[in-house]
Each structure stands twice: as C-alpha cells, then as structure tokens.
Amino acid sequence: MARLPRACPAGVPQHIVQRGNNRQVCFVEEQDFVAYVGWLIEYSKKYRVDIHAWVLMTNHVHLLCTSQMSNGVSLMMQSLGRQYVRYFNLSYKRTGTLWEGRFRSCLVQTENYLLQLYRYIELNPIRAGMVDEPSAYKWSSYQINALGKESALCVPHALYLALGDNKAQRQSAYRALFKSRMAGKLLTDIRLATNKGMALGSEHFKQEIETLTGRKMRPGKIGRPIGWRKNNTDDGF
C-alpha cells in the first residue's frame, strides 16, 4: 500500500525527529556535526524552511521549523538525508541505509505549545545525561536562543521575538523558561503526536488542521464503534 503524503501546510510549525536505523550512531566525529549543519543551512534556505530550534544527538536529530511553502519540509529532509548518507558512508567506508525510515513529525499549535517545543528540543542533552545545563551542549540552538550566539541557521519565530523588545530582553525571558521542569503529560503528548504524525495542540487546533489538510490528526477511539452490534444484526449477521 502506498504511503500517504505528509500533511505539510505552509506557515504551520512542525516538530521533526529523525533517528539512526536501529538507533545506530549518526554522528561520530565533530566534522560530522559540522557537515550536517552546513547542509541543513543550505537546504533550509533552498526550500524556504525557517529553523527555530534544533539539537543533534549522537543517534538522532530534532528540529522545530516552519515551512514557507507547501511540502518544503519534506523536500528539505529528503535532500539533507540523501546528502548526509552519501557523506557518512564515504567517510566511514560503509554502505546501506543510515536513517530509520522516514522522519517523524507533528504539526504544532503556536499558542501554548511552540515555546514548549523549544524547551523540549534543547533539553534533550540533559534528559540523556550528557550535560548538566543546556548551555554546555554545543550542538543545539540553546546557545543561540538563550545566549545570543550568532547563527546562520536559526530563524526566530514571531512568538520568540515577542518575548522582549530587544535581544537582551528576549534572551533573558527565554532563559527563564528553563527554570521549571516540563510536566510528564506534556512530554508524553509531544512524543505521541510526533510518533503518530498527528497535531500537537488544542482540540480546536486539531480540528482546524484536519479541515485544512483532510488528514486525521487525532487518535481513533479504542474498541468497536457505538451501535456496531445493532448494525450487524440488521444486516443479518
């Protein structure tokens, strides 16, 4: 059965996760991180995708982005994935696949959820026990969004810009977001929506996305539909 095309409307933020096949390492040396970021910059600009937050872990990648054209995210990830696999296989004298199938993604409601995704992504190295503070991890957008490090990759979202009237105010307000723990339910909701390719947001937002894309953005109810026994009896079963 052919796979359904992704729902990728322009202007709606997306959370993307791409993992190594069987969780194998995708970044071995520092030069690998540098190469991936370089191509991410190139293809995000080519396909008009704004990258707001990101982290490169040893065996997977998280991105928070907004495409300015329909299907831009898919085009970017396809080009980036192929280019990086060629580089990786050549560098380490290997063949075959590197990524675990298609990348996973979910559409994100800006209100209430976008800045939470910023935090979720940039806190990955802490949850993995790699560092004690997000600022200590080099291969994420935290140093850019929270500390003002210059970047050719990150494009601030309008909601991030609304955190303050100038860079210093925005960075201070952004750092304050990291002083509280992320609720367990929020972590579960983010992971479920991303793994299932659904929308992350309110019920109203999910309904809007379903109407816009014609795709189901909420999990179906467990069990048989109401009235199934009566309907089957009426049909002679």
pLDDT of 90-119, one tens digit each? 999 999 999 998 899 999 999 999 999 999
Instruction: Tell whether the model's pLDDT for residue 5 goes beyond 70.
Output: no
Please report the pLDDT score of residue 216 as a whole number.
78
- Mean pLDDT within 75-100: 96
Token digits for 46?
């080519």
Mean pLDDT of 83-95: 96
Percentage of residues of the chain with pLDDT beyond 90: 79
Model pLDDT for residues 179-221, shown as the tens digit of each residue:
998 999 999 999 999 999 999 999 999 999 988 887 777 776 5
pLDDT at 235 over 50: no
**DSSP string across the chain:** -PPPPP---TT-EEEEEEEBGGG--S--SHHHHHHHHHHHHHHHHHTTEEEEEEEE-SSEEEEEEEESSTTHHHHHHHHHHHHHHHHHHHHTT--S--B-SSPEEEEE-HHHHHHHHHHHHHTHHHHTTS-SSGGG-SSBSHHHHHH----SSB---HHHHTT-SSHHHHHHHHHHGGGSPPPHHHHHHHHHHHHHT-EES-HHHHHHHHHHHSS--SPPPSSSPTTHHHHHHHTT-
Domains and CATH numbers, the chain: 13-201 (3.30.70.1290)
Position 153 pLDDT exceeds 90 = yes
- Contact 62/134 with Cβ under 8 angstroms? no
